[in-house]
Amino acid sequence: MLGTLFNAVAVTIGASLGLALRKRVPKKLQKTVFSAIGLFTLFIGVDMMGSVSRPIAVFIALVLGASFGHWVGLDQTIKKAANRLGEGEGAALVQSTLLFCVGAMTLVGCMQDGLRGDPSVLLAKGTMDLFSALFMAATMGRGVLFSALSVLVIQGGMTLCFSLIGTGIPEALVGELSGLGGILLLALGLDLLNVRKFALIDLTWSLPLLPLVLWILDITGFPA
């Protein structure tokens, strides 16, 4: 859990610095850096998408995840709850949580920390997140600071799960999950750049549904 604790503290420090420097950072610089974060998120997402080898299964998981997420309505619930703390805080919380908690580094880092007790990947990720949190908080506000709790809960939960289930996760499944995470990061990048808004939390239901979809397709012999 050392990697997750470091990552959560790094986000807290970065976001706190961003909030403290908010009035001193020129709006134009904030916008420029924020655009850079969005573009880099797009790059990471596109790069990760290359690990998808069964696109039909990923597509089905996305459709089912979006449908189930819309039915549950968790995205809107979180935004409404967080917006009570201030205008726009919900969007900041959702976007920063997705940026910090969805990705190959999160998945692989939690696996290494949980299965091998090696936090090195999460330590590197936490350092990157510190700088991202600084500029995001300077631009978007307190919602970014609140995402430190999301990092602690989500990454901590994933690390704990991996430590409990052991090494029985097929490498192929890790690749598909990483590729799907890349698609979600692509959506996040477009969201950050204000190109298109997505119900990002709703879409993340596709991640836990993907193993089930792959299992069903395998037992039915459907080529995907």
**Sorting pLDDT into bands at 50, 70 and 90, what band is 152?**
very high
Structure tokens at 112: 């290494």
CA 170 to chain centre: 22
Query: How high does pLDDT run on average in the chain?
Result: 82
Section 194-217 average pLDDT: 84
Q: Which residues contact 196 (CB under 8 A, 6 or more apart)?
A: 187, 190
Of 83 and 161, the structure prediction assigns the larger pLDDT to: 161
Supply the pLDDT for residue 14.
92
Query: Ranked by mean pLDDT, which of 77-81, 101-105, 153-157 comes out on top?
Result: 153-157
Supply the pLDDT for residue 81.
62
- pTM of the prediction? 0.73
Contact 210, 177 (CB under 8 A): yes
Contact 153, 37 (CB under 8 A): no
What percent of the chain stands above pLDDT 70? 90
Q: Mind listing the pLDDT tens digit for each residue in 4-57? A: 999 999 999 999 998 888 767 777 777 787 788 788 878 888 888 888 888 999
**Sorting pLDDT into bands at 50, 70 and 90, what band is 128?**
confident
Of 70 and 30, the structure prediction assigns the larger pLDDT to: 70
End-to-end CA distance of the chain: 36
Contact 21, 174 (CB under 8 A): no
Say how far apart CA 68 and CA 79 lie, in whole Å.
18
Structure tokens at 157: 């939960």
Residue type, 116: R
Classify burial at 25, counting beta carbons within 10 Å of its beta carbon; exposed 0-12, middle 13-18, buried 19 or more. middle
